[in-house]
Amino acid sequence: MWKADVVDLNLTRFYEMSTRVVLSFLILAILLAIVAGVGCAVYDLRLIFQTDFHAAFKTIMVDMLTVLAIIEVLRTALAYFSEGRVKVTYIIDTVIVTVLTEVMAFWYKNIRWEEVAMTISLVISLSLVRVMAVRYSPAAIRKEL
């Protein structure tokens, strides 16, 4: 019985340490992606002088929104690194930012109304789930007790 507890404890420590190592590399990769995204957005500023404003600003706006989505992914990874769990609200925020990036891209495309309605319903349902996750959070329930 005692040896089984020691083995379980060692496996748990190994799992936690290996998860932290992998997560550290993931955070580094995310930071590099953010730097590359900002560099791409800055590089695309040249389009303002080379093409029409509409196309240039569309490209720059999509670049910036993509960087914001990557920042949300970084926030989720950092929350897991510090708390040992992923918060549902961070994941939902990431998905909402990503979907809103696609909505911004819809403005410049000829999209069927069904796709727009589907995207709007996705954003509304994600917003409702986020409100429910905040309202009925385990931390909020513990505070009430």
Per-residue pLDDT tens digits for 3-20: 666 667 778 888 888 988
Domain count of the chain?
Answer: 1
Q: What is the pTM of this model?
A: 0.72
Report H helices in 53-112. 53-83, 88-106
Count helices and strands in the chain by DSSP H and E runs: 6, 0
Question: For residue range 102-112, what is the model confidence (pLDDT) as tens digits?
Answer: 777 777 677 78
What does the pLDDT average to over 92-99? Answer: 84
Contact 96, 123 (CB under 8 A): yes
Which range of residues forms the domain containing residue 114?
A: 2-144
Mean confidence (pLDDT) of the chain: 84
